[in-house]
A and B are shown apart, each in its own frame.
Chain A
Amino acid sequence: MRHRPMTLALALVAALALAACGDDTDSDAVPQSGDRPEETAEDTSPDSSDESDDTTTTSDGADGGAFPVTVEADNGSVTIEATPERIISLSATHTEMLFALGAGDQVAAVDLQSDYPPEAPDGELDAFQPNVEAIAGYEPDLVVLSYDPGDVVESLELLEVPALLLDAPADFDGIYRQVEVLGAATGNVGGAAEVVGQMQTDIDQIVADLPEHAEGLTYFHELDDTYYSVTSQTFIGQVYALLGLENIADEAEAAGTAGGYPQLSAEFIIESDPDLIFLADATCCDQSPETVAGRPGWEGLSAVANDAVFVVDDDVASRWSPRIIDLLRNVAEAVTTFEPAG
């Protein structure tokens, strides 16, 4: 099975669509259904999108499993009345997060791309063209998604199903925040804190064990064989940044039109001559250190000469789940084994 990470594809589609519409994940893009805003005590953005007419107690989840709880997602503040027992995840990343933080039992259905962990239910829902009726058919009490083609969240609100839209974050803090949001929303605050704590411990350990020569090495992270890449403004780029590596794609950031996922020209990659090349397209596009070495003009690159072309897992390198630590570890190992020739 080839599982091409959908989120990246979608990010690209969005970026390439000539920025026709504004960034709708901004915090001001709140749901339109709050026509009867309830009085909320301490919440600074009182946009509870459902009708809690008896109590308006909100909690930011700090006191563990207390419901109702209001959390901040990319679609604004969302209030969840009671511990959700039937969660639908339309995002492979968030399926992984839910299972990692201990909400796996509450997951009723997932999308086609959600293939990890193994105990996750078999995916049937299409996250690219979500069908609200199909989603509603599972009678969910919480829906988590990383992409909304336009009206899914709104439709779910009409059905009074709380939905959390959690877009790809730009850094690790964003990842931790999403884990915590999911923890609070599912009544697993402790599990979420544990996951975040473990991630931070692992990162500290990996960074501490890093050899000195890592600092300042340049790299190229290849998303597919048409040279789409990532900049340091993405969560993938942040993995490398943690290790002190320099991203050749960052120069493309000035052009700034690709939302962190620019398509680099071959000329530029060769001229930049990165120390390390990471292939996140071994599964999707059959790329390998051998195919890279066989590309015209690439055979003379330092990374090819120094055996510094590495394969990383397509899926792991495209999801901001706790498994991102695996990517970090793989990259750190690659850096450790790296020996510049001569």
Chain B
Amino acid sequence: MNDRPTRTTVEAIIRPDAPAELAPSRVRRRWFAVAVGSLAGAMALGIFLGPAGLSAWGVVTEAVSTIPGIDAGPGLTDRQADILWKIRLPRVVLGALVGGMLALSGAAYQGVFRNPLADPYLLGVAAGAGLGATLAIAYGPDSSSWPVEALPVFAFAGAFLGVTAAWSLGHASGAGRNAATLILAGVAVAAFLTAAQTYVQQRETETLRQVYSWILGRLATSGWHEVLLILPYVVVSSVAVLLHRRLLDVLAVGDDEADTLGVRTERVRLVVVAAATLGTAAAVAVSGLIGFVGIIVPHAVRLVAGTSYRIVLPLSLLGGAAFLITADVAARTVASPAELPIGVITAFLGAPFFAVVLHTSKRAVQ
């Protein structure tokens, strides 16, 4: 571990004025408590609210009854219990995984590219997944002839194709030292893939609604299937990204400086981007394109809790989870019993939420 800067070195470089502030660990602890609290609150909201009017007391007794040895009495009918365990709860958990993953990836991309506007959907991830999903819906194999559902597989492959193309293109143009080149390559690849997707859609108009429904994003699950499908990816990529949180702080000061500190910038970039993309691709494959989470959440975190990636990354994970669960509660209750596309909700909630955070942080500065 000789080639890694010690924590204090990094701290001194990133935050030369650190001693004047609150001790970083205390800042972290305070915001962690807030983030965990929001996530718990959002989960409670997600479990208690829904189009099926399950009584709060019923849900509580049902939950208590699952503890071995305790029978709190019949809180819910069998059907209501089915709704709670097989429909609502998996959806809340899926929301947490997808939201957390998207926000964490957004923060990671922003760190790697030193670009505050970077987002998981940059670098052709979303466009690639979109093309994959469209192909799966239009020409994919019947679910009967394939052991697994085709759509997530295609979307996942598309996401990887997109990011690989962007990476190769950017790399060929010397993006090793220049993050902006990589982002431009991503934009070009995304535009191309989106065009291809639109072309396929125009040829196969009978699949239009399915593609459209997927593009707007939805967290609807078929039980725990989707959760189990993406859980391993989310865990692996979250761990990989979080392990690099200090190195991202070093990258933030510039490649040359990072080099002198012995950080292999190229390798860090590759690992973090690969991990973030893996997680995003998995999330996108099951939930469609849910925008704004990857950009709004990390920024909100940065505005209130500081810019160190040691704090931004984990808080984005928790905050993204809480945010998307809340957005999904809105998606399934606002027009109940009809659903609204969650992508629309995240856009609606995202902007005002961001404005409030901006306002709060301004006041804090003054």
Contacts and interface: CB of A to CB of B under 8 A. Distances in A.
Contacts of A3: 206
A193 interface: no
Nearest to A267: B52
Contacts of A338: none
Interface in B284-311: none
Given A126-B202, A252-B338, A6 B208 contact: yes
Interface of A is mostly: loop
A214 interface: no
A228 B209 contact: yes
Interface in B329-360: 332, 334-339, 341, 344
A224 B209 contact: yes
Q: How large is the interface on A (under 10, 10 to 19, 20 to 34, 35 or more residues)?
A: 35 or more
Interface string B207-220: 11110110010101
Interface stretch (A43-51, A102-110, A255-263): A255-263
A127 B338 CA distance: 29
Interface in A240-289: 249, 251-252, 255, 257-258, 262-268, 270-273, 284-286
Contacts of B210: 4, 224, 226, 284-285
A198 to B, nearest CB: 29
Contacts, number: 136
Contacts of B50: 265, 267
A286 B82 contact: no
A267 B212 contact: no
Interface stretch (B83-91, B261-269, B274-282): B83-91
A18 interface: yes
A9 B138 CA distance: 14
Contact of B205 (A113, A262, A265, A297): A113
B17 interface: no
Contact of B338 (A128, A262, A272, A284): A262
Nearest to B207: A4
A265 B206 contact: no
A16 interface: yes
B74 to A, nearest CB: 16
Given A255-B335, A265-B50, A296-B223, A16 B212 contact: yes
Contacts of A223: 209
B142 interface: yes
Interface string B133-173: 00000000011100000000000000000000000000000
Residue of B144, B220, B223, B337 most packed against chain A (CB within 10 A)? B337
A196 B270 CA distance: 68
Contact of B335 (A18, A224, A257): A257
17 contacts: A2-B206, A4-B210, A8-B209, A16-B216, A16-B341, A18-B344, A112-B205, A252-B336, A255-B338, A263-B339, A268-B51, A270-B52, A271-B80, A271-B83, A286-B143, A297-B223, A300-B78
Interface of B: 50-53, 78-80, 82-83, 86-88, 90, 142-144, 202, 205-210, 212-213, 216, 218, 220, 222-225, 332, 334-339, 341, 344
